[in-house]
């Protein structure tokens, strides 16, 4: 199951870019199931680190398929999310503390499987309703950017709290 998640996500991105809509829909569904199955069986997500990268590959495929502002905003938001995740991990390691994991109980900080499942549904929706691509990609970009900013502010608060306690 561990290999299935990244390979189906990347294959879905390839099919999305090549306009193989039926194959992309099937692979997006398989990616969603491969993300959800470990959570249902163990309560934890396997391979939480590859989700943003697969979402970025899907966003780049969407930008290749339909270039424009919404797809570019989604790519930029995903790059922001990846950068914030790396910087917060670096700041936490430097401060000697652990930040809350990706499975926070928050709509904006859903991260992990929640973000991957929403992304899978959003990319499937852009295939099924191509005339609605701009609002769907824009909404996903906004949610992704809000999550990255919220995670960064949480990291700042945790690191400051550790510094104040010392």
Give residue-wise pLDDT tens across range 58-112.
Answer: 888 888 888 888 989 989 998 898 888 888 888 878 877 776 655 454 445 555 5
What's the CATH code of the domain at 46? 1.20.120
- This prediction has a pTM of 0.77
**What distances in angstroms separate CA 57 from CA 51, 67, 71, one per listed residue?**
10, 14, 12
How many domains does the chain contain in total? 1
- The pLDDT of 156-165, averaged and rounded, is 69
Computed over every residue of the chain, the mean pLDDT equals 78
Q: What is the dihedral of CA 49, 50, 55, 58, to 10 degrees?
A: 170
pLDDT at 25 over 70: yes
Q: Are 142 and 77 in contact (CB under 8 A)?
A: yes
Domain span at residue 140 reads 4-165
The values of phi and psi at residue 85, to 5°, are -60, -45
């Amino acid at each position: 199951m561990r290999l299935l998640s990244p390979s189906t996500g990347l294959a879905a991105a390839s099919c999305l870019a090549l306009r193989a809509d039926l194959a992309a829909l099937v692979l997006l569904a398989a990616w969603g199931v491969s993300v959800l199955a470990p959570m249902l069986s163990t309560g934890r997500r396997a391979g939480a680190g590859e989700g943003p990268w697969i979402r970025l590959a899907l966003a780049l495929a969407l930008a290749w398929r339909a270039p424009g502002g919404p797809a570019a905003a989604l790519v930029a938001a995903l790059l922001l999310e990846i950068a914030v995740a790396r910087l917060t991990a670096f700041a936490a390691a430097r401060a000697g503390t652990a930040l809350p994991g990706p499975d926070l109980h928050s709509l904006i900080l859903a991260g992990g499987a929640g973000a991957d499942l929403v992304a899978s549904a959003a990319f499937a929706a852009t295939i099924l309703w191509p005339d609605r691509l701009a609002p769907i990609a824009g909404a996903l970009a906004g949610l992704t950017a809000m999550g990255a900013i919220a995670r960064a502010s949480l990291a700042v608060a945790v690191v400051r709290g550790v510094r104040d306690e010392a």
